[in-house]
Amino acid sequence: MDIIINEVGLRDGLQNQPKLVSTADKLSLLTLLEKAGLKHIEVASFVHPKAVPQMADAEAVVADLNFSNGQVYSGLVPNLRGYDRGAATGLNEFGLIMSASSTFSERNVRMSLEQSYQACLDVIKACLRDGNRSRVYISCSCACPYEGRIQEAVVLDLAKRLLDEGADEVSISDTIGAGTPSQIFDLTSPLISEYGASRVNLHVHDTRGAALAMVWSGYLAGVRMFDASIGGLGGCPFAPGATGNVATEDLVYMFNQSGIHTNIDFEALEPAVAFAEKVTTSSLGGKSMQWLRSKC
């Protein structure tokens, strides 16, 4: 199975930005990402605009997509209502989130783990009914900002239940960037052995500088699908202390230089990073982009 990098900058990357980014600028960033070769892109989140104002234009963003160009677009949905909104736009791939931590779930979505699980099942069943794909992000897979480290057995049990219920994929998600390479290996290897690489995604944050090491450990365990965010944009609005996702350009550089081709042009990502910096008024870019810019 080839490496798949799922670009989440337009959703996970922007959702926590204090400066609202216009629909036109989101679409311009999308174009730059596609020019660099990114084929899998999460474009929006169908949440209530009061909860995440940056995602208030989800329908408008999707309305301008070209669904005939071979790209794979996805949207995040919090529940069945969000799914109905997303499905009405023509999207056919959806991400949904539940936590491995009961405290995180109760504080941020005001649901117990079982209530959150049932909400996920509602969306999974709707996707199965409609012929759409579902990916469940298991947040706090490595650690919770309130409970500390989460036991691997809890995460694995939850992942297996979701896959057995019909989720197309689960994503082991280190929401606050507190995981370790060995932890990622222990979480992903058993799932890949039982379900295959096409059903396991890895989503890590670089809060403590270990994101690339965790990605590489996941790769050695058999993971072939990874989330990343252009320029390292990101951070969960509901997770205290969480910083950006692993930078897309760092992931692409590491894999390409290791002979594991992504079919993404590393240098062509620089205009996307620059544009993201412009519209967010933030200094962005992974270590590899700092190196590339120093050569110019």
Helix or strand holding residue 216 (H, E):
helix 211-221
In angstroms, the CA 283 to CA 113 distance is: 37
Active site (annotated) includes residue 142: no
Characterize 78-115 residue by residue with b for buried, 16 or more Cβ atoms within 10 angstroms of its Cβ, and e for exposed: bbbebbebbbebebbbbbbbbbbbbebbbebbebebee
DSSP 227: E
DSSP 146: T
Cα–chain center distance at 116: 19
Q: Where are the beta strands (DSSP E) in the chain?
A: 4-7, 40-45, 72-76, 93-99, 133-139, 143-144, 148-149, 169-174, 200-204, 225-228
In angstroms, the CA 280 to CA 277 distance is: 5
**Which residue shows structure tokens 């950006």?**
244
Please identify which of the residues 120, 142, 144, 236 carries the catalytic annotation: 236
Active site residues: 236
